[in-house]
Structure 1
Amino acid sequence: MFPLLAQLILIVIASICKGKHENTCNVFPKDQYIEVGSDTKVVCHSSCVPGKISWTLNKRVIDESLSHTINSSHTVLSLRNFTEHSATVLCRSAATEEVLGGTTIRTYSKPSKISCILDYDNQEAGGVPELLTCNWEHQINPSKDINYTVLSASWLHPFQSEICNSRVTTCTSKYKTISDKILLFGDFNITVRAKSADFEAYSETQDFTSYHIWKIVRPKLEVTPRPDSLLVKWTQMDSSTESQCFCQVKYSKAINERTTEWVIDKALNCEDKGEMIIDKVDSCSTYKFAVRCALAEAPWSDWSLEKKVLTKLNMTDVKLRLWRKVAEPLKNGLRTVRAMWTGIPSTCQDTFTYMIKQQKTGENSTQTVCGNATCDVEVNQDAHRITLTVLQNDTLPVEDSVYVPAVGESLPQVTDIQTRNYEGVLLVSWKAPIQPVSGYMIDYTHDGNQFHWMETKYTNVKLIGLLDKKPYNITVTPLLDGRTGHGTQALQICSRVGDPGNVSIVNVEAYDKSAFVSWDVTTQKECSDAVVRYTVFYTAQNGPQLNVTADGKRQYISLKDLTPDTQYHLYVQATARTGSTQSSEWLFITKRFDPRLVTALLVCGSISMVLVLSFGLCCAVQWKKFKDKPVPNPGDSSVAGWSLASHQQPFSIPCESHYDRVYPEGPRRKSTPPLPKGRNPTRDQMEEYTVPDIVPSPDTQNKDPAEPGEFNPSSPGESTALLLLENNQLSPYRSQSSVEAAVQGTGKQSKHVAVKQQEKTGPATVYVTLDMFDHGNRHGREIEAEP
């Protein structure tokens, strides 16, 4: 107090002396660091302004009672029990509120709440502790660098000495020699000094007793399993003291992090070994154990290394739960029964013997040695009882039995099974049978090999702990006293329906203003949800995103109103009730012109070209046939000579007609033309004529040929009709030999002998003009060749 007052007096005197020469205003001292809760004073030099002054602390007006005036130009502000972490004090003119000067006051605290522990650097060693670790609290400005020093004094060294230094609020001192360690026994005190560039503070001196802060080493633990309990032993490593120790044993069943943890306290001499028996543990279960100890009034040691142990099976606690699944009878009438049981944990490492005994009512039983989980046996259509026996060494066996009803046996059966899934849980309900039952057994499986079952007295049950997104088969069987009814199986249901399958775009066929998109969905999970709708999202370059929707049954769509010669980004999203999946992105570019128009033109052009080529080829073939077919000249025919003969020797025509009929001949024959009546031909006049074959008309082929020289008169109408028919179906010309043949025949002087029939040949096409017999007469003559 007195040094601070002397300092203020000197400041005031200096200010007064200086004020004689100049009128200045300011606040002194600047930037103070004071201890929290201490008092301080601030002087305001106000010679630059007349009148009173006022003070503000962090913009709050300070009561005038805290300040007093020394003279007309100096005012002192007294602040008591100052606790602000940092504050700004301003001196103002009371008349004008003008700021005359200011200063910043910061506070610091001294270290407090010191705690120390005697510990070990090596937890496997015992004896005298070798480490002294002290901690404290200090509220300071985090931006300041503080150096801490721990000072200690004991009954052997009454004056404090430095034992460690630190820049944080903890410090450890290591005692290596025996003489140093002796200092730790008995009573000693600790003081912490905090020093920075602006302040230096000392904590209050804290007294300690070594036995109260001695943290002994952690114990060593051993756990031994027994048939019905666990034996826990631990060894205390510290043997340098005969004081009493307190120990804690904690253990828990290793199922999950939320398993209940048990802690048991036990007091013993620190030199003795600890021992404890833990009973009432579950069979074939894993337990975790740890132990710690402490001296009286001292902190706990570290927990020992954790030990895990698997308990043994206690046969007295085994409660078998036997069940069976009965398959449909085979052709030979036998049924396969799968016996399943629980009650013996699968984690048990002991050796067990499982026996299945099947017994038909009123007959002897048969036994089968089985595995450790399931066993299949065969029974006929009669009722049976199956018994499971479990043996372990010399212990008493454990048994359970189940009933297998006969085929067609009158037993109760549930009806109307309803199933529903909700967030991975299956809810099953059914209608009870008319007959009274004692309960129901519900068995369920997702693969037909691994079964789970549970018993209930109600007509509904909740199945939990199922595999995610797996289909389950559920069967409900009523239970009677000592017997079971017939099981009823529900429809298969998934534990939870998942997202739809993966969507993949199959093809995008782009045109100028449209595109055809097709996709496919691959279902990789058994319980994927059905797709409700598909949405195709497509975006042009620098354009908005558009979309079209298709129902879940269609996996294709056409995009319309696209921009030609533009790149588009495309992907397909499949949406179900449970979620949605989308395909990877697909890029395509629309055509500048519609490719279908070019294709249509090419197809039409190709078809037209084929038709033209086909037509030209047909014409060429027909022309070649026409050109290659020989066409005889009627002027070269032997009939041409008949016209001349007719002028000399006219025929006698029985019946005249404007149009004489020409009849086609049969097979080609050699004949002589008939002679005119009243004339007897001479030998020289006898000429041999060769008449070509003439194809008869269809209506005359089956008629008898006319006699030689016989003429058949006909009406003009009939002649015209016959000519028209012959023009359509037969050649309009008569078959005849060429002129050359006739000339050769007349040139020979031969006798007219019986005409020999020529060999038959194929029909030939000939041409005959009606005026070749008479150049002057336009009407033809009816000529009939003899057969």
Structure 2
Amino acid sequence: MVGLGACSLTGVTLIVLLLPRSLESCGHIRISPPIVRLGDPVLATCTVSPNCSKLDQHPKIFWRLQAEPNQPGDRQHSLPDGTQESIITLPQLNYTQAFLFCLVPWGNNFQVLDQAELRAGNPPSSPSNLSCLMYLTTNSLVCQWEPGPETHLPTNYILKSFRSRTDCQYQGGTILDCVPKKRQSNCSIPRKHLLLYQNMVIWVQAENMLGSSESPKLCLDPMDVVKLEPPLLRALDIGPDIVSRQPGCLWLSWKPWKPSEFMKQECELRYQPQLEGANWTLVSHLPSNKDGFELCGLCQAPVYTLQIRCIRSSLPGLWSSWSPGLQLRPTIKAPTIRLDTWWQKKQLDPETVNMQLFWKPTPLQEDGGQIQGYLLSWSSSDRQGQEVHLCNTTESSCIFHLPSEAKNVTLVAYNSAGTSLPIPVVFLENEGPAVTRLHAMAQDLDSIWVDWEAPSLLPQGYLIEWGLNSHSYNYSQKAWRIEPDGNTTGILLEDNIHPFQLYRITVAPLYPGIVGPPVNVYTYSGEKALPHAPELHLKHVGRTWAELEWVPETPWLGMIPLTNYTIFWADAGDHSFSVTLNISFHGFVLYHLKPASLYHVYLMATSRAGSTNSTGLTLVTMALESSDINIFLGILCFVLLFITCAAAWFCCKHSRKTFFWPNVPDPAHSSLSSWVPTIMTEETFQLPSFWDSSVPSITKITELEEDKKPTHWDSSESSGTDSLPALVQAYVLQGDPREISNQFQPPSGTSDQVLYGQVLGSPTSPGVVRYLRCDSTQPLLGGPTPSPKSYENIWFHSRPPETFVPQPPSQEDDCVFGPPYDFPLFQGLQVHGIEEQGGF
């Protein structure tokens, strides 16, 4: 926004400068007032002279504030002399600095006639936290203050003061005002304008174009605010005899700053050891001048940092700054420690055996003295008691060749102040009972708990030794300690323990003058997960399956046992699957895969410490063969055909009125009525249009010529007189239609004729269907039989002998029934057609 405004401002200014001479004095802006408070309204007036020949007689005047859109004024009117005047009121000026432009239309654009700068800000607030210090180095009174919030306007600050001989209630002599440098909030009053030991009143005045303000007045005596310079601190040289008698001390001296020597001062000293986390220690109420000062009771830190500062004594004043730090090393004292020792034989070659001695210092006091090195020596008898040095080192162990005649071997710790008490070293033999049931277990990743059962002879203490177990047993990596309490049966090892490492731990009892046999135990400092899972291998692959196998990792100490395996596989569509297996599995078969598909497989081994993945395995299943596809399609077609037939049978089961072929029962165990195809009562139809006195009723139809599936029609359709259905092309049993319900009952004992009729034609042949009938006196079975055979109809068994009465012949003397195979008994057995009747 600022950049855009500056760019627009530059462009508009350039346009104004390049205005034609005829437009320079056409417009003029007046602003009342030009500087306002931030957010206050601004009233502006723009007048356009009538003498501008380039403009219209009554031009429309517009306004623009910075880069905001053009807008007309609140009102525009003409003055008596023809001058056009536009007045605008800006309700809020939110810019601290902005330009207001007066414009008129000029072609397709606008022409700037005049511009005016607007300023907005805030009146200065009262300065606060006024304070003054009298510096003897510059011999001036320096005062500083906080100016307060930004005003966004040029603001002047002036430090004002005057002298006062009373308690600052009355003004005395004036002091020249002090004007600070630009953008600074401090000012100095020189010594020549001050009267020492006399009060003065000081305040700060702030002023800008919107107002002024003053800070609270400060009443002070310049000498009461004197800030001294720190004294000069230095180390004091002391003779070596004093240093040896008083270890752990520092000797110092200091002198005050020379311009303040006439003042009575009080000082304080602070010191801090250069150790991590150390604090400052303060020593107060020290004189301002000291030629020698002894600071003792210091710990054995390598270096101390010391500083000093001073203030006027018994008078108001301010502490000086701390002096620059002085680094000194305190005098040291001889070590006061106990040295625990342990040794091992080190076989260099078959003929040379060296000794390796370990020691561990234990301070006997809070400050046991600084140790600069260790010395191992022995006294030789043939050298008249002169000591022979075996080892001189700063380490806590050394390897040396022990002479066979060496008996009295001693170890001391030393520094520049002396040596510790000599510690005799005894190379003990392994005798006595050893500890039993030694057990070690990792407590956490940085510690190991070791416990044992005390031997039968209670020892004085125990020696515990531990270190990493490796093929090259490095004694420098070993740690050890002596437990002085013989009743101890367990200890927590925390020194020199690293996670997931195999440690060898040795425990040996210490008896008076001898050491018991050492006992070893191995343990890990922590268990970790398997570094990598077993590698997957593809054993066999098929079209919808793949067999995987892997070789389990060889268990190794320190590894947490595995709990399960998890196999993940995903296809090309990122559909993932998984299965969790027992740790006893070494292979698995993936089923239900898609043929000719790509799969990514991973194996994850899981334990209590976490899970580890194997490298990925990519496999492609085999494609289907053509024979498999044919078999699959054949099976599919068979299933579809079976389903279609079953559905058709089910759908037509209830709508079928007759059978595809007559239901032929056993002739020896059935009546005549059962030799005719069964038709349900609701399927009986009537032919009323064919009834007359000479034509009997048609009560039953048996299909003769074609064995076709009958077509079902509703009984209501049978009442029509136009034509008969195509099904009515069969033998017709004639009788009273009212006796339909009894049509299958045996004939009565009367000698009534059995009438037959024949339908000529085919259900499928076109043309008119004709019906021929004749009277016949032929009995159904050729004649009555008193003793029917087993194959005859059973209703003959109960009938008495009857006499057939011949009927008078009708107009149709001859019946055109054809051959005897149209007999109803044979008609029921006819299935395949007339060509097969020769067997009857």
Normalised by the length of structure 1, the TM-score is 0.47
Normalised by the length of structure 2, the TM-score is 0.44
